[in-house]
Amino acid sequence: MTFERLLDDLIRDTVHVSLPAFIAELIVCATIVILLLGRLFGTDRIVTPRWVAIVGATLAFAASIGQFGEVFASGRSPIEHTALFTGLLIHDPLTVYMRILLCGFLVLMTWLTAVSGIPDREDGPDFHTLLFGSTLGALLMAQSNNLLMLFLAVEMTSVPGYVLVGFQKGRRQSGEAALKYLVYGAGAAGVLLYGTSLVAGTLGTASLAEIAMRMPSVVGINAGPLASPAERTIVLGSLFIFAGLAFKLALVPFHFWCPDAFEGASAEIAGFLSVAPKAAAFALLVRVVQSLFGADSGPIEDLRHAFGIGLAVVSALTMTLGNLAAFGQSNVKRLFAYSTIAHAGYLLMGVAAWMVAGGEAGLRGLEGLFYYLAVYVFMNLGAFAIIAIIRNATFSEEIDDYAGLWARMPIVCGGMAVCCLSLIGIWPAGGFIGKFMVFAASLSAGWVSPVMWALVAAAAINTVWSLFYYARVLRAMYLESPTDSDRLEEIEASPFANALVLALTIPVLLLGVFVEPLSRVTAFVARSIVG
Amino acid sequence: MDLLVAVLAPLAVAPLMPLVRRFAGRHVGDVAAAIPLAIAVYFARYVGTLGDGQSVAFRRAWVPEIGLSLSLRLDGLSLLFVLLISGIGALVCVYAGGYLAGNRRLGSFFGSLLAFMTAMLGIVLAENLLTLYVFWEFTTLTSFLLISFEHERQAARAAAMQALLTTAAGGLCLLAGVILLGLIGGSFEITELIERGDAVRAHRLYPAAVILILLGAFTKSAQFPFHYWLPNAMAAPTPVSAYLHSATMVKAGVYLLARLSPLLGGTDLWTVTVTGVGAVTMVVGTVLAFTSYDMKGILAYLTINVLGTLTMLIGLGTELAAEAAMIYLLAHALYKGALFLVTGAVDHAAHSRDLRELSGLRHRMPLTALIAALAALSMAGVVPFFGFLAKESYLHAVVEAPRMWPLLTFAAVVASVLVVAGAGLVAVAPFFGTLSEKADRAHEAGFRLWFVPALLAVAGLAAGLLPQTLAAPLVEPAVAAIVGEPVPLELKLWHGVTLPLVLSVIALAAGVALYVSHERVRSVFDGTRVLGGWGPAAWYDKGVTLLDVVAHWQTGFLQSGFLRTYVTVILAMTAGLAGLMITHFGLTFVERETIGVRWHEGIAAGLIVAAAFVAVRSTSRMRAVVALTIVGFGVSWIFVLFGGPDLAMTQIVVETLTTLLFVFAFYRLPKFSILSDRATRFRDAVLASSVGIVMTLLILLATGVDQYEPTSEYYVRSSVTEAHGRNIVNVILVDFRALDTLGEITVLSAAAVGVFVMVRLVAPKGGRS
């Protein structure tokens, strides 16, 4: 093979296969470049950065929606798990699904920052560059097909996140939170990198697809569990990779950064951090699990089963600690920060159920996870968006200052009610369906291992607990009379803010009532993962 | 399809109600009433057609993946409830239009009320258990809105909260039970499950499912020990209390028990629990009624009594008991609805519901007094009211109970006595006697406020006079649906002198006697208030407080805000987990030649270790940074020794840049000082060494893996043949890994730009100092 041939193949592959599939990410990149150039040439004074961001995000979303049809419309997949960029990325239904979710999320996010005005005009380009950079990282996370890519994508998501947390200059709390997040993140990155190098070194490849093929040649050759050194190294490496991802997902005991970072950050950034990196990290977790433990052999299935049980325990701990901590909060932002920890626990149930049950029953867990993620994007961003909107109107994030807001901001408070119901998991909000799906999947996984039943019991108790603190927010808004009613007189939500709240909460309700369309898609995505 | 339309119609109209209010003004309640009335009329045509256990079904897939389908079924039991919900719903709409006239949020009130009707109709028509659950939660939600309607009042808030939390928590238990049941039976369709009833009851998870489902039903129907929320929810507007807390919502639990008794009933667990809890609730409700002076409070406790009675009857599971339950249900809906609405009228007119402030009202409100008397007579079980029939049939069922009958009969008689006295409290005490000050200022209620309760009270009398014509067509199919086979029913007032009749007369006489001396008896009952301090409501409060304390403790403990603690936890976890695995499996190092250390490697390693030690111990920042740089260069040396020249190059340049960055950052740092004490540093040293040791062991473990050919051999082999170069380092850098090198150069340039910016930022400052 001559050098020209190689180069030709590379170019043909890149131009004809990779780039067209990668169009949404390219638009995000282009937006970043335009934002930065605008700063350089001073055009950001003519065209507001936030408009550049909104247009960029919308175009990226449109491009991702364009791919929806080719994957899902026919009901079968014309996309044959295409590997992009010499196998570093993969283009499959999960990629497209996550791309649509994340790009849609980016549109809503830019809309939110435009409404709440958190970056002022001066900081706009920097802020949006960081926001888009982090989202780009999340997009790459969701489609990584290589351990190195996995690490780079995780870092690309995290590093702008550190800066975004400390973005409110001059606020001591923000700086402290950013530093904590950074140090913690650096430690987790080290662990993740160490894990990837152990796995890659043992198997001689970093490609997730290759890993899946080579695992059976390493695991279970000697009799007994973890009998060979290679097997042990792989398991330790996997443990470290899981720990690195657990950091991104804020799972116990890697969750410490989350409440501090969220409290230091503005509500908008907290909303961002609680959704985009987490959703992407779940997609990545699924890919890693499928790569490491997806092979069709007894010993590997045992490993998957054991890791699944481990994740179930982590899931139970995560939701319990998150909920207990949320219980005592008087600051709404901190309350929701803890509640997102709890939700990572519920979402993890889907993965655990998949890993424990395996086969057809396990697919239900994945379906539930993907459905839950779609609802989660709306309900969690919705909650944080509403906190931001209320903060702009009342200059407070304390529950007590929410008293009687109902009368002044009916749509915003109605939105909060929908988000809270959904987070609790009460019909007709979509959170009910998501929760139901992962609960049901875990229950049927209980036939394989009763630990899953214990997990469901823990989740049910947690759901009841969560009722108490979510209800406190609603109670303040709807039932309590304000201490200072004059202060409320001037409060009002702008039409744009109201429109945003509707855009965030109506889908939550729709996902609760019209389940079939999306559940068909998630079932398809889940099936495509397992192949 | 018709069923679905009927269920969803109120919900569909609900959002329009604020608009209707704008156009219809005072008549908004009458307009709203048209919808439940239409539903009642529509369903009335099924009366008399479902007697033999036939049913009408509708089914459509909703979320097939999880077995959730929108399937509805109308049978005799459903029909009775549908008619109650829609019939009383229409009356309550009319009444509320008068009661809340002038309220500016009337539109949204009727919207919530109609949405609530959809939820209730959905519950009683659901054929799929998940659908039932969905509507069940929807009642929780809409009832929350209705209870908190007059939310300016502090009491309304707390009550709404408590009701929401209790029933929602119960609802989640129900969901868990339903899912378990679905897993056991392989379906969520009630009729399919009933067909597989034997297998379900024999399953090892059956007890868990039963207990969870019972928790859901008991919380909803305010059974002991969850009864506390119902009296507290009386802060709601009276029409809401009449509709939700007497006629419909609280009966949803009873409905669920009746619906599922063919499936779950008949076992010891079911019979003992349901009957026992029902009997206790029956007595507790009546006793507590005497601790209240609030007319609505008394009615609420008496409602708890009825709910307990119904639960007990369903638990008994006999044909007689099912009959009695359905008759009693109907009777109660008529008389208790009327009494609630009368109380509302009194409250409206006299601005008080306190028995200590009200007496002699009959002089001012004669019509209302008459209606109250009619309803109370039915409640007390006096001939010829329908209530008499109800009381006699349930005493009959209890006397003939297959087990525990003496105990149950005793409880039933005690409760009956107290109910009679309670009827006196709400219907005699406020209306008779001397005219009190508050009562003096009262006036006769408006048309809607007396007409609606009058209709209910008269219906109670009519049903008593003509039971076979008016009541039997409703009750018979309902009983047939519970029992599972057609049951011929003969309702008549006179059965001859039987034990139930004797008991009924005794209860009536004792009740009247009790009422006459109720002022004195009250002090005795007041004693039960002491129990309140230890009662379920207090558990609820204590539970909430305890959870609060635990939550605060764990948050303060784990989420301290100190980065050091967090890092300690994560490092200890990682080292602990990995160390555990290593010690568990032991270390089997593969003896390899490469493990032998050459002298220059030894020097590099020694240098790194020594420099790291200096960096940690140093009290000068500059010295620490220099030491760290030495560590970095040592590492790059090792890269060179082990065949990674490009890596080494990158490492060297990165080291240099980092050192520069450090130096620039010094300008902005405060004076160096040691902040940690000896113990902390010792702990940190232990932690750091253990992490280091574990990681080292891990690397040694990994070297034992010899699966694939090292890449270096490939380079050695192919350097000449593929790349035509003899200098391997060169070939690797510019050929095999050319793109990597390109990337490294790019990164380095970017880092250099960063340093340049840093220099520009810092230089002026540095120049000045």
| Weakest-pLDDT range from A36-50, B369-383, B723-737 | B723-737
Distance CA B728, CA B645 (A): 10
Mean local confidence (pLDDT), B394-422 = 86
Query: Does residue B263 lie within any of the structural domains?
Result: no
Residue B647 lies in domain = 563-725
Residue pair B289/B418 in contact (Cβ under 8 Å)? The answer is yes
On whether any CB of chain A is under 8 Å from the CB of B594, the answer is no
- Tell me whether residue B82 is exposed, middle or buried, using C-beta atoms within 10 angstroms of its C-beta: 0 to 12, 13 to 18, 19 or more: buried
Q: Which of residues 354-373 of A touch B (CB under 8 A)?
A: 364, 367
- Per the DSSP assignment, residues forming a β-bridge with A449 are none
Residues B752 and B763 in one domain: yes
* pLDDT at residue A354, rounded to an integer: 94
Question: Is B551–A327 a contact, with Cβ atoms under 8 angstroms apart?
Answer: yes
Give the whole-angstrom CA distance, residue A25 versus residue A135: 9
Looking at the 3D structure of chain B, how many domains does it have?
2
Q: Is B705–A421 a contact, with Cβ atoms under 8 angstroms apart?
A: no
Q: Do A236 and B573 touch (CB under 8 A)?
A: no
Chain B CB within 8 Å of residue A433 CB: yes
Could you tell me if B708 lies within 8 Å of chain A, comparing CB atoms?
A: yes
DSSP result, B680-734: HHHHHHHHHHHHHHHHHHHHHHHHT---S--HHHHHHHHHHHHH--S-HHHHIII
A and B: number of Cβ contacts within 8 A: 165
pLDDT of the residue at B107: 80
The overall average pLDDT reported for chain B is 82
Q: Is A239 on the interface with B (CB under 8 A)?
A: yes
- Asked if A443 and B183 come within 8 Å (Cβ–Cβ), the reply is yes
Contacts of B176 in chain A (CB under 8 A): 456-457, 460
- For residue B58, the 8-state DSSP code is E
Let me know: does A160 contact A134? Beta carbons within 8 Å.
yes
Q: What is the mean pLDDT of residues A301-309?
A: 90
Residue B311 phi, psi (nearest 5) = -60, -45
Task: Answer whether residue B51 shows pLDDT above 70.
Answer: no
For residue B430, whether the previous peptide bond is cis, meaning omega lies within 30 degrees of 0, is: no
**Distance to chain A for B185, nearest Cα, Å:** 13
**Partner B contacted by A179 (CB < 8 A):** yes
Q: Across chain A, what does the average pLDDT equal?
A: 86
pLDDT at site B533: 47
CB contact under 8 A, A479 and B708: no
Residue B120 lies in a domain: no
- Using pLDDT thresholds of 50, 70 and 90, give the confidence band for residue B254: very high
Least confident of B102-111, B153-162, B606-615: B153-162
User: Chain B: nearest CA to A240, how far in angstroms?
Assistant: 8
Cα angle for residues B8, B12, B13 (degrees, 5° grid) = 125
DSSP states of B249-267: HHHHHHHHHHHHHHHHTTS
Location of structure tokens 């014509």:
B469
Whether residue B721 lies inside any domain: the answer is yes
- Work out the burial of residue B697: count CB atoms within 10 Å of its CB; fewer than 13 is exposed, 13-18 middle, 19 or more buried: middle
Contacts 24+ apart (CB under 8 A), A389-393: A389/A115, A389/A116, A389/A493, A389/A497, A389/A500, A389/A501, A391/A116, A391/A267, A392/A116, A392/A117, A392/A497, A393/A491, A393/A492, A393/A493
Q: Are B750 and B624 in a shared domain?
A: no
Residue with tokens 């007369």: B505
**Chain B nearest CA to A427, separation (Å):** 6
B702 interfacial to chain A (CB closer than 8 Å): yes
B663 shares its domain with B674: yes
Note whether B151 contacts A: Cβ–Cβ < 8 A. yes
Q: B183 to chain A: which residues are within 8 Å by CB?
A: 443-444
* Residue B767 placed within a domain: yes
Highest mean pLDDT among A269-278, A424-433, B131-140: A269-278
Q: Which residues of B touch A310 (CB under 8 A)?
A: none
Q: Is residue B718 part of a domain?
A: yes
The angle formed by the CA atoms of residues A293, A298 and A302, to the nearest 5 degrees, is 60
| pLDDT(B301) > 50 | yes
CB contact under 8 A, A364 and B65: yes
User: What are the C-alpha distances in Å from A250 to residues A216, A497, B419?
Assistant: 31, 29, 57
Take residue A302 and report the two structure tokens written for it.
Answer: 């045992």
pLDDT beyond 70 at B537:
no
Determine which of A511-515, B217-221, B391-395, B657-661 has the lowest per-residue pLDDT on average: B657-661
Summarize the confidence of residues B393-405 as an average pLDDT: 84
Mean pLDDT for A335-358 is 92
Q: Which two tokens stand for residue A477?
A: 């808004």
d(CA A417, CA A412): 9
Is pLDDT above 60 for A147? yes
Question: Do B615 and B712 reside in the same domain of the chain?
Answer: yes
Greatest alpha-carbon span in chain A: 80
Mutate to test the interface with B, among A85, A324, A364, A453 (most CBs of B within 10 A): A324
Q: Give helix B563-585 / helix A172-203 axis angle, nearest 10°.
A: 20
* pLDDT tens digits along B658-715: 888 787 777 777 777 777 788 888 888 888 888 888 888 877 777 666 656 666 777 7
* Nearest-neighbour CA in chain B from A436: distance (Å): 8
A36 contact B CB<8A? no
pLDDT confidence of residue A289 = 94
Cβ B563–A367 below 8 Å, yes or no? no
CATH of the domain at B621: 1.20.120
3-state secondary structure of B69: strand
pLDDT band at A290 (very low <50, low <70, confident <90, very high): very high
ipTM of the complex: 0.72
What whole-number distance in Å separates Cα of residue A133 and Cα of residue A130? 5
- Regarding whether B761 and B680 lie in a shared domain, the answer is no
pLDDT tens digits along A13-32: 888 878 888 889 999 999 99
Residues of A with Cβ-Cβ distance to B68 under 8 angstroms? 436, 515
The verdict on B656 and B589 lying in the same domain is yes
Residues of A within 8 A of B152 (CB-CB) are 481
Contact A475 B180 (CB under 8 A): no
Residue B59, strand partner residues: B71
Token couple for A64: 């991702």
Cβ neighbours for B712, distance < 8 A, ≥ 6 positions apart: B643
Whether residue B506 is contained in a domain is answered as: no
A327 touches chain B (CB under 8 A): yes
Q: Among B457, B230, B434, B244, which Cα is nearest to B345's? A: B457
Same domain, B748 and B622: no
Among candidates B160, B176, B569 on the partner chain, residue whose Cβ is nearest the Cβ of A253: B569
The predicted structure's pLDDT at residue B286: 86
CA gyration radius, chain A: 23
Q: Which is more confidently placed, B590 or A107?
A: A107
What is the CB-side half-sphere exposure of residue B108 using CA atoms within 13 A? Answer: 11
* Residue B67: per-residue pLDDT: 67
Query: Does residue B747 share a domain with residue B631?
Result: no
pLDDT at B53 over 70: no
**Residue B339 covered by a domain:** no
Question: Is the bond leading into A428 cis (omega within 30 degrees of zero)?
Answer: yes
User: How large is the angle between the packed helices A267-293 and A147-165, nearest 10 degrees?
Assistant: 170
**Chain B: residue whose CA lies nearest to A476:** B157
Mutate to test the interface with A, among B229, B705, B722 (most CBs of A within 10 A): B705
Q: Nearest C-alpha of chain B: how many angstroms from A183? A: 8
Report the pLDDT value the prediction gives residue B769, as an integer from 0 to 100.
37
Q: Is residue B469 part of a domain?
A: no
| CA separation for the pair B285, B280 (Å, rounded) | 8
User: Is residue A235 within 8 angstroms of chain B, CB to CB?
Assistant: yes
Q: How far away is chain B from the Cα of A443, in angstroms, using its nearest Cα?
A: 8
Give residue A71's pLDDT. Answer: 65
What pLDDT shows up at residue B83? 93
Whole-angstrom distance, CA of residue B116 vs CA of residue B140: 9
Shortest CA distance to B343 belongs to which of B299, B287, B291, B307?
B299
What's the alpha-carbon Rg for chain B, to the nearest Å?
A: 39
Give the model's pLDDT for residue B449.
86
Provide the token pair at A342.
């709890």
- The winner for highest mean pLDDT among A85-89, A130-134, B690-694 is A130-134
> Do B714 and B730 share a structural domain?
no
Residue B122 φ then ψ, to 5°: -60, -40
What is the C-alpha to C-alpha distance for residues B280 and B217, in angstroms, rounded to an integer? 16
d(CA A227, CA B443): 91
* B634, containing H or E segment: helix B621-641
Pair B704, A229: CB distance under 8 Å: yes
d(CA A422, CA A417): 8
Say whether both B589 and B666 belong to one domain.
yes
pLDDT of residue B525: 67
Q: Cα dist. A140→A24, A154, A280, B361 in Å?
A: 11, 8, 8, 77
Mean per-residue pLDDT, B217-228: 87
Position A380 scores a pLDDT of 94
CA-CA distance, B332 to B563, in Å (whole number)?
A: 63
| Segment B310-333 mean pLDDT | 91
CA neighbor of B189 nearest in space, from B73, B20, B333: B73
B719 and B741, same domain (yes or no): no
B447: pLDDT strictly greater than 90: no
Per-residue pLDDT for B589 more than 60?
no
**What is the C-alpha separation between A339 and A472, in angstroms, rounded?**
13
Q: List pLDDT tens digits, range B259-290.
A: 999 999 888 899 999 999 999 999 888 888 88
pLDDT at B767: 43
Give the highest mean pLDDT range of A103-107, A119-123, A393-397, B190-194: A103-107
> Residue A402: pLDDT above 90?
no
Q: H or E segment at B56?
A: strand B56-63
d(CA B283, CA B411): 7
Which pLDDT band, with edges at 50, 70 and 90, does A97 fall under? Answer: very high
Q: Strand pairing partners for B73?
A: B57
Give which of A40, A207, A436 to mutate to test B binding, by max B Cβ within 10 Å: A436
pLDDT in tens, A185-244: 888 898 899 899 889 888 888 899 889 888 888 887 776 666 777 888 888 889 889 989
- Is there a single domain that holds both residue B711 and residue B749? no
- Identify all chain B residues contacting A202, using CB atoms and an 8 Å cutoff: 702, 705, 707
Measured in residues, chain A has a length of 531
Q: Please check whether residue A398 is in contact with residue A309, taking contact to mean a CB–CB distance below 8 angstroms.
A: no
